[in-house]
Amino acid sequence: MDLSAFSMEDLLLSALKAETESRDVYNKLADGLKNALLKDRLKFLSGEEEKHRIFFEMLFQQKFQGKEIALPEKTPVPLPDIKIEDEALPISEIFWRAMQAEMAAHDFYRSLAEKITDEPRVKKMLLYIATMEKGHYKLLEIEKENAEKFEAYDMEWPMMHIGA
């Protein structure tokens, strides 16, 4: 991902916005679920995104001392977000969208790390976060496959869960 057209301030604000929005989406999804295992996984992802947000907030404050953080309405960096326009959207579709956002975050953080040449600890942390985002992708991929199986099962056996 070519980030040369963006300032460091724009890049860090984009990272903060992406992490904040991902955290909120995972929390919202978890709050609407009855499946305790899936709920725990989504709460875990939300917690991970919150840790990333804190890192980027600290990095912003370090680089732009005294400047207030104001998240942009729309980020200049083209990063996909996880939109849930329809409450009836199958969870497998939401997971697919989240997977795309996680992979874009991975690529973004790797590219951002390349821009950091004078701070090896920050560079290593960005690469570590990029690796974590790829792990989130894999976790979501597994959950998406599980969701697709159960969605298909419900289609083949309508009203399967009525009663008991």
Mean pLDDT of the chain: 87
Look at 99 and 158; give whichever has higher pLDDT: 99
pLDDT digits over 10-48, tens only? 999 999 999 999 999 899 888 888 888 888 999 999 999
Do the Cβ atoms of 119 and 63 come closer than 8 Å? no
What would the mean pLDDT of 54-65 be, rounded to a whole number? 96
Give tens-digit pLDDT for 79-95. 766 777 766 778 888 89
Topology of the domain covering 8-78+88-156 = Ferritin (1.20.1260)
Give the pLDDT score at 137.
96
Q: Which residues have a Cβ under 8 Å from the Cβ of 63 and sit 6 or more positions away?
A: 8, 9, 12
What does residue 73 show for φ and ψ, rounded to 5 degrees?
-60, -45
Task: Give alpha helix (H) positions in the chain.
Answer: 8-31, 36-63, 91-115, 120-156
* Per-residue confidence band for 136, with pLDDT thresholds at 50, 70 and 90: very high
Decide if 13 contacts 69 (C-beta within 8 A): yes
Identify the pLDDT of residue 152. Answer: 56
Structure confidence at residue 157 (pLDDT): 43
Domain map of the chain by residue range?
8-78+88-156
Pairwise pLDDT comparison (16 vs 162), residue with the higher score: 16
